Structure 1
Amino acid sequence: MSKRIVAPIAALVAFLVPALALAAPAAEAEAAAAPANMGVAIAMALAIGLAALGGGLGQGRAVASALEGICRNPNSSSAVFTPMLIGLAFIESLVIFAFLISFILNGRL
């Protein structure tokens, strides 16, 4: 199989399997409230998964671009390194923000 087919399937499996595991009702007594809890659990799993995916892709592209700029002009490494670290911190803060939102949603389960 080609990489274009395997990568999206692997991503779907990696993000949907935890969503299904979190969406399962905890006990039979909570079966009546399962549809509302299932939506919150799926939202939690998707928030964490998509934030990690987007943060990883964003950080990878930021570092790749910064290193490419440094390789083209080694004298600019001091001018590129600090803004790159600040950008990586902002990207990571967005991922942590999504993680906190998922914990807030966990309180609604």
Structure 2
Amino acid sequence: MANKLKVAWFDGLNIGQTHFEQQERFFNRNIDLKTINIYSNLYGIIDLEFSQEMLLQGKIALSKISGIAQDGSIFNAPEQDLLPEPIEINYESLIDSVVVLK
């Protein structure tokens, strides 16, 4: 089956797991297509928490982050996704600097 196409259900069909997986991909694609224009500018960080222990060691590290990416995908770390690696801080070079986390 082509990815994201509707399943052709009919009487007598020998139903397998792939049929339900394909149907779910079809539904998810329809939901995405219908909501992307409505919510195209609704993205950003919902919850953000820095690790205080790592800050004391001279590193910037997240202990929790969740939000919606610009493409609409949802991230939730550390529960479902991996946290980014800590960033080493050199205090002397950070005077009047902006730190960007990617």
More helix by share: 1
Report the TM-score when normalising by structure 2.
0.31
Bigger CA radius of gyration: 2
* Structure number with higher relative contact order (C-alpha < 8 Å, ≥ 6 residues apart): 1
TM-score (norm: length of structure 1): 0.29
